[in-house]
Structure formats: C-alpha cells, structure tokens
Amino acid sequence: MKIERISVFRVELPLTHPYRLSGGRLRFERLDSTFVRIDTDNGFVGWGEGCPWGSTYLPAFPGGLRAAIAELAPTVIGLDPRRTDVVDAAMDLALPGHLYAKSALDQACWDVFGKSVGLPVYELLGGGTDEQVTIQSSIGQDTPEAMVADIRRRHEQGYRVHSPKIGSDVDDDVARVEAIAEGLPAGDSVTFDANRAMLPDQAIRLMRRTDDVDAYFEQPCQTYDECLQVRRATTQPIILDEIVVDYADVLRAQRDRACEAIGLKIERVGGLTKARRIRDFCVQSGIRMNIEATGGSVLADSVAVQLAQATPSRAQRATWLCHEMLAVDPCEGGARNLGGHTRAPDRPGLGVEPRLEVLGEPVATYRRR
C-alpha cells in the first residue's frame, strides 16, 4: 500500500463565545484549522487535523502548518501509511521540527492503518480499555463569580474536572482560586491553568497563599526553569503543558521531579506515533496525563481520545473536547460528550468522517509523480 495523494483543506471554526487565556492576554473568536486527507493506491482514505489555536498560543500557526505540509508531501507520498514509525522518521529527516504539521499527516496514516485492518486506532495503540475517558471543562478567565457560575453550568452538563484559566494579578488570582474552591460542586476536581502567564514570584505567592486548596496548577510560567523554580518552592501538584514538546522534555521533567502530570497534546508533540512513546514513558514512571488536542474539531479531539482509550485510566487525569466550544461541526461520528466522559468510536480507523460539503475544495493537492 502506498500514499498516492495528499489533499489539504482549510476549515474555519468559529467559537460559540470569545475565549481568553494566558492572563487574559490572548483572545480568540475563531480557529483556522487544517484537514489533511491521504488517498492510497488501493483506495483507502485517511484524515488528520491540525489546529494550533490561532497564531498567538504556541510557536505554531495555521499558515506555517500548511506550508510545512507542502514541504513534507514529496517525502510522504509513496510511503506505506501503515508503517507509522517509518513515515515519522522520514518526516523528521525531511524537515526537522514543525511537529504540529507532521501530526496531521501522522494521524491520517493511523486512520488508514485502522481502516485497512478493520480496527479502531486505539486497538493499534496498545489495546482499548473498557473504561470511559473523563472530559475536563475549559473555563475562560473572568471574574470569580462568573467563573464559578460557568463551572456550575459545566457540572450540570456532566463535567467533574474543570480547568479554569488564571494568571493576572496575584490578589485577583487568589480571589479566583478561593471562590472556585468554595463554589466547587462536591466531588469535582480543578486545575488552575495559567498558560505561562505568571512570573515565578507570582506563582509561588499564589500557590503558597492557597496551599490548603486541593487543586492542580498548570504551566504557571513561560520557561521550564521558571516552572521548576515554582515546583521547588510549592507543594500542590503541577502539570506541565505548553513546554512539553518532545520526549526529551518529559525525560528531563521526570529526572528533575518538575511535575506530577503533563498535558500530552497530540498535535504539539508531532502526532500519535510520538505521543505513544511519551504515553508509555509516563505510564511507567507515574506521570499522570491529560491526553488531548491542541484545538480543532471533533476530528482532532477523537485522535486524542483514541490514545486515551488505550491508556490505563489511573495514568490519566482528563481529556478535553475542543469541538464543544465551536459553532460548527464539520464531521460525522467521533468522540462525543456522553455526560462528562467520552469513548473512542468503535469504528475502523479514527471513526470520524469529515463532511465534504462543509470542507469545500482543497486549498492544495499533492500527487505521486
């Protein structure tokens, strides 16, 4: 089996509500997503998605993703998509870095692999567990009252894990943490996510002033060294997210005891092939994971849930369904909210079918010469 054609689609994803993160510095109203379709010489079709949450969130942007796919396409075309490690290595040789672009191609290869053997992708990633995957809500930064109200709404929808965004003034953040701890429905769990917005002194003061609150704190600062400084001066569990990009980052974090959990975002680390290696290391070394998408439609969410479905639940905290924040739904099937939890679809491949009438014409097509 060989990859014959790669088609790239640009998909506009408006959010139902404007969203703020990283101390309110970043505001989003719509996402620019890229769907990648691969066609094989024997008639299989695979899909992948890349959506880096605009251009301001990560060192990644939608135009760069599509440009990198143009660069990678001649290397990938002609390869057997079922040989996911071979495709991964070939992409790394052809273009160092640009993991978020490689991810979309890698996902499409796993989709074909699953379809070609009639199995869901999670069965190829170690085998599905019977457990359901917990979903966490994402609560944009706002006043303490508004954030508590949002968490209560999410609780009504079945969410039991919440990720409110913090990272402005320390006094304001203390008020948020205390109000949310006070208003949190019984049995629910919370992660205060700063998305890199704080300096070490701010994070240390915030966490020390709220150290009686049973909560996780996520990615307090911009750099690894700053987060490590916070880790060494505080006691609550810390999750590293944006700065975990490759395997070496997780090795270093484990060596330094820099965190208790990581955000394993499939697109950021380069796709399922690379995420699986990190997943295995974390399972063995007791690092809990949020296995999730960087953003995008139910296609990107389902890719993450496929890996989560094949990962012991004790090694996970929660996934996130970005597609619930969107005003459009460009796909059929996929991992949906079943009341605060989800499951990977029991269909061959990723179990998601993009609706071609929504996608429109491809913005680029690459063929075998």
Binding interface with Mg ion (CB under 5 A): 193, 218, 241
User: What gap in Å lies between CA 61 and CA 78, rounded to an integer?
Assistant: 27
What is the token pair recorded at 100?
Answer: 């978020």
For Mg ion, give the closer residue by CB, 111 or 218: 218
Count Cβ atoms below 10 Å from residue 180 Cβ, excluding itself: 24
Query: Least distance in Å: CB of 261 to Mg ion?
Result: 11
With respect to Mg ion, which residue has the nearer C-beta, 271 or 295?
A: 295
Query: Nearer Cβ to Mg ion, position 21 or 121?
Result: 21
Q: CB of residue 109 vs Mg ion: minimum separation in angstroms?
A: 27
- How many other C-beta atoms lie within 10 A of the C-beta of residue 272? 29
- Determine the residue with CB nearest Mg ion: 241
In the DSSP assignment, the letter for residue 337 is -
Give the span between the Cα atoms of 304 and 298, in whole angstroms: 10
Q: Which is nearer to Mg ion, 188 or 241 (CB)?
A: 241
Pairwise CA distance, residues 190 & 285, whole Å: 23
- Token look-up 């070496």 returns 248
* Spatial separation of the C-alpha atoms in residues 137 and 189, rounded to whole Å: 11
Could you say which of 2, 102, 115, 165 is catalytic?
165
Q: How far is the CB of 218 from Mg ion (least distance, A)?
A: 5
Catalytic residue check, 165 = yes
Lookup: tokens for 179: 């109000």
Angle at 284 between CA 280 and CA 289, to 5 degrees: 65
Least gap, CB of 128 to Mg ion (angstroms): 26
Q: Catalytic positions, please? A: 165, 265
